[in-house]
Amino acid sequence: MRIALLATGFFKQTKEATKITILGLAREYIRAGHEAAVITPRLENLPDYEKIDGVQVYRVGGSGSSILSFATGVSKVQKEIGKFDIIHGFSAAPLFVLRSFLSRLFHSRKARIVHSLKSYSRNSLGHKFFGLLNLADVVSVPTQTYAKKLVQHGCRNVRVIHSNIDTKRFVPSRKGKGKVVFYYGAMGEWKGTDVLIKAMPLVIQKHPDVKFVFAPRDPIYAQRFFPELKKIGHFEVITKDIDIVTYVNKASMVVLPYPSLEGTEGNPSCLLESMACKTPVVTTKLPELEEIVIDGKDVLMAKPSDAESLAMQINKLLGNKKLQKQLADNAYSKALKFDNKVIADDFMKLYKKLIPVAR
């Protein structure tokens, strides 16, 4: 089976979630004996073609995420490796299902289309054009909450297939000493970074020996939070490339204070990776997250956008080693269900159901 994976992203940053998760799927398809190629927009200072972890990545078209450039890219790649059976697009905005549809219309009529909405879009246009999703044979989303919303918008053939993580890389190892609260990923209001900073003094008041460690995906963008952090103290911002697995394991906890899941995967990678490392997590009480974990059993959940509630949960966990272990152990088994191979198998079963229709 030949599979085209269409997505924006694939920047230089090694921490980019889209790049990591799609490469994880592609590697599993290749291991299973299929052909998989990633098609993504051309970017300055990056090659038009390269292999990343054994996966062929083609950068095509002009600047940005031109819809038509993907169709041109599919045509170009098919001349090298043959016709695609599956065109699988990934985006946050429904509009981008047109990438796959036009690719099939112009260049690969027998291919079947799967489109995955990995998150809610932060762009206002990302909350429109839901009807276009019916151009795909199947639409996948990571949560039942999102699936219900799409059905209400008139979308057909919606399936829930979770996001994936590499549980062979994110594994438990020796834990660190001291009280370390770790945050990693993009830093911005849509991630709740501002709420975490407001909660810090309330935690330091009760645990003066605590240290907050931030590993931002984009250190330059994160600089706007530095003045406020410097006023508070008790922090470190890591701007160099690091082994995230080591830092997650060394932390007393990982804190992910999402106000909502706009701009964040429905199954957040940072949450699942921390669970896979047996590092306890404090996050927020959102319906999508409650599909994955149980408050008080697997993680602790604060009220979204509430600094006092967040501080209370961090304090509760910092002061209770037994609770830390209990949460970490309970969450670990759930994280394994999101392994790259498990999710790739779920998608492959879906592809195989569609292929007889194509032929």
Q: In this predicted structure, what is the pLDDT of residue 220?
A: 87
At residue 359, does pLDDT exceed 60? no
Contact in structure between 171 and 276 (CB atoms under 8 Å)? yes
Q: pTM for the whole thing?
A: 0.93
- 325 pLDDT above the threshold of 50: yes
pLDDT in tens, 240-252: 888 999 999 999 9
Q: Strand 138-141 to strand 35-41: parallel, antiparallel, or no bridges (unpaired)?
A: unpaired
Query: Where do you find CATH 3.40.50.2000 in the chain?
Result: 2-164+339-358, 179-338
User: What integer is the mean pLDDT of 73-90?
Assistant: 94
Whether pLDDT at 13 is above 70: no
Query: Does the pLDDT at position 10 exceed 90?
Result: no
Query: 164, 163, 167, 169: which is closest to 336 by C-alpha?
Result: 167
Task: Give the C-alpha separation, 342 to 330, whole Å.
Answer: 19
Note the pLDDT tens digit of each residue in 84-119: 999 999 999 999 999 999 999 988 889 999 999 999
Q: Is 357's pLDDT higher than 60?
A: no
Higher per-residue pLDDT: 269 or 16: 269
Reported confidence tier of residue 261, pLDDT bands at 50, 70, 90: very high
- What pLDDT, on the 0 to 100 scale, is given for residue 64? 46
Report which of 237, 259, 267, 269 is spatially closest to residue 306, judged by C-alpha positions.
Answer: 259
Per-residue confidence band for 257, with pLDDT thresholds at 50, 70 and 90: very high
Of the pLDDT bands very low, low, confident and very high (cuts 50, 70, 90), residue 358 is very low
Measured over the CA atoms of residue 211, residue 214, residue 219 and residue 223, the dihedral's sign is negative
Does 335 have pLDDT greater than 90?
Answer: yes
Looking at residue 61, its pLDDT comes to 80
In contact, 71 and 107? CB cutoff 8 Å: yes
Alpha helices in 143-296 (DSSP H): 144-152, 193-206, 219-222, 226-232, 244-250, 269-276, 287-290
- Give the architecture (CATH level 2) of 179-338: 3-Layer(aba) Sandwich (3.40)
* Rounded distance between C-alpha atoms, residue 111 and residue 278, angstroms: 41
- Given a contact cutoff of 8 angstroms between Cβ atoms, the answer to whether 204 and 210 are in contact is yes
CATH superfamily for domain 2-164+339-358: Glycogen Phosphorylase B; (3.40.50.2000)
Backbone angles phi, psi at 68, to 5 degrees: -65, -30
